[in-house]
């Protein structure tokens, strides 16, 4: 990843391989779901394996998730973990952009996941009333696998990474 970064002349972003803890805290009183007391605040923390961050603000441009095994071995659990990371990222780093990108390195394979959502989904996360627009979801579209020992596939991954860097 850093080798790809070094090919870009104006590097506003830096790869960081330290784990980032992203916390998703939800309002005490939500317009949907079970009612909770003040002491029963829902929150969770998702931990990344790395991220592409703005060199100045440390805002996250994309997340990196690594597993030693191929995705087929633990796919559902990884899907849930990555969705939780996206939710926590959206909660901790709000943005007007409605797409987030996650790079997964699973054993000898790399995947690129595009997570798309709309304003109604963000309202849902914030506990706002979503009546009439309760069909809004986070949609995660995964591209890959790209095999790390296949030169043509790695060229495709590098092209995607450079485009995402810009």
Note down the domain range covering 67. 21-48+62-165
> Distance of CA 25 to CAs 8, 48, 81, 117, 150, Å?
36, 17, 16, 18, 41
> Would residue 101 count as lying in a domain?
yes
> Would residue 153 count as lying in a domain?
yes
Q: Distance between CA atoms of 18 and 22, rounded to whole angstroms?
A: 13
Report the pLDDT averaged over residues 8-12.
67
Other CB atoms within 10 Å distance of the CB of residue 47 = 13
Cis peptide before 146 (omega within 30 of 0): no
Domain count, the chain: 1
> Would residue 111 count as lying in a domain?
yes
The 3 state secondary structure assigned to 110-159 is EEEEEEECCHHHHHHHCCCCCCCCCCCCCEEEEEEEEECCCHHHHHHHHH
> Would residue 143 count as lying in a domain?
yes
pTM of the model: 0.84
> Would residue 14 count as lying in a domain?
no
pLDDT one-digit tens code per residue, 27-80 = 776 655 555 555 566 789 999 999 988 888 888 999 999 988 888 877 788 999
> Would residue 84 count as lying in a domain?
yes
> Would residue 13 count as lying in a domain?
no
> Would residue 54 count as lying in a domain?
no
Instruction: For the chain, give the percent of residues with pLDDT over 70.
Output: 83
């Amino acid at each position: 990843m850093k080798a790809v970064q070094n090919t870009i002349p104006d590097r506003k972003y830096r790869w960081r391989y330290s784990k980032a803890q992203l916390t998703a805290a939800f309002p005490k009183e939500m317009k949907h779901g079970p009612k909770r007391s003040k002491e029963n605040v829902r929150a969770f923390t998702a931990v990344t394996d790395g991220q592409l961050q703005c060199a100045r603000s440390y805002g996250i441009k994309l997340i990196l998730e690594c597993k030693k095994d191929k995705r087929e071995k633990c796919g559902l659990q990884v899907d849930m973990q990555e969705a939780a990371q996206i939710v926590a990222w959206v909660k901790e780093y709000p943005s007007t952009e409605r797409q987030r990108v996650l790079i997964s390195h699973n054993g000898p394979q790399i995947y690129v996941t595009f997570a798309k959502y709309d304003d109604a989904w963000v309202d849902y996360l914030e506990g706002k009333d979503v009546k009439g627009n309760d069909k809004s979801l986070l949609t995660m579209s995964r591209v890959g696998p790209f095999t790390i020992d296949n030169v043509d596939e790695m060229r495709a991954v590098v092209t995607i990474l450079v485009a995402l860097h810009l």
